[in-house]
Amino acid sequence: MSIEKNEKQKRGYDELLQGNRDWVKNETEKDPDYFNKLAAGQEPDVLWIGCSDSRVPANEVTNTKPGQVFVHRNIANVCVHSDMNMLSVLDYAVNVLKVKHVIVSGHYGCGGIAAALSNQQFGLIDNWLRHIKDVYRLHSHELDRISNETLKVNRLVELNVIEQVYNLCKTTIVQNAWREREDLEIHGWVIDISTGLVKDLHVTAKSSENLGEVFKLDESKVR
* Binding test (CB under 5 A) with Co ion, winner from 47, 51, 153, 186: 51
Catalytic residue among 72, 110, 131, 155: 110
* Binding test (CB under 5 A) with Co ion, winner from 78, 110, 115, 161: 110
Catalytic residue among 72, 107, 131, 187: 107
Q: Which residues contact 71 (CB under 8 A, 6 or more apart)?
A: 47, 48, 50, 58
Catalytic residue among 53, 79, 131, 169: 53
CA atoms within 13 A on the CB side of 195: 7
Catalytic residue among 11, 55, 81, 181: 55
Question: Counting contacts by CB under 5 A, is residue 104 touching Co ion?
Answer: no
Q: For 45, phi and psi rounded to 5 degrees? A: -95, -10
Q: Closest approach of Cβ 105 to Co ion, in Å?
A: 10
| Contact yes or no for 184/174 (Cβ under 8 A) | yes
Q: Is 51 among the catalytic positions? A: yes
| Contact yes or no for 52/72 (Cβ under 8 A) | no
Q: Closest approach of Cβ 202 to Co ion, in Å?
A: 21
User: Hey, what amino acid is at 215?
Assistant: F
Q: Which part of the chain contacts Co ion (CB under 5 A), choosing from 7-15, 43-51, 175-183, 205-213?
A: 43-51
Q: Residue 112 or residue 188: which is nearer to Co ion going by CB?
A: 112
Alpha-carbon gap, residue 98 to 47, rounded angstroms: 10
Q: Closest approach of Cβ 77 to Co ion, in Å?
A: 7
Q: b vs e for 72-95, b when ≥16 Cβ sit within 10 Å of the residue's Cβ?
A: bbbbbbbbbeebeebbebbeebbe
* Binding test (CB under 5 A) with Co ion, winner from 53, 166, 167, 168: 53
Q: Is 169 among the catalytic positions? A: no
Q: Reduce the DSSP state of residue 135 to 3 states and report it.
A: helix
Number of residues in contact with Co ion, rule: CB under 5 A? 4
Q: Is 45 among the catalytic positions? A: no
Q: Is 101 among the catalytic positions? A: no
Residue 177 burial class via C-beta count within 10 angstroms: exposed 0-12, middle 13-18, buried 19 and up: buried
Residues that bind Co ion (CB under 5 A): 51, 53, 110, 112
* Residues marked as catalytic: 51, 53, 55, 107, 110
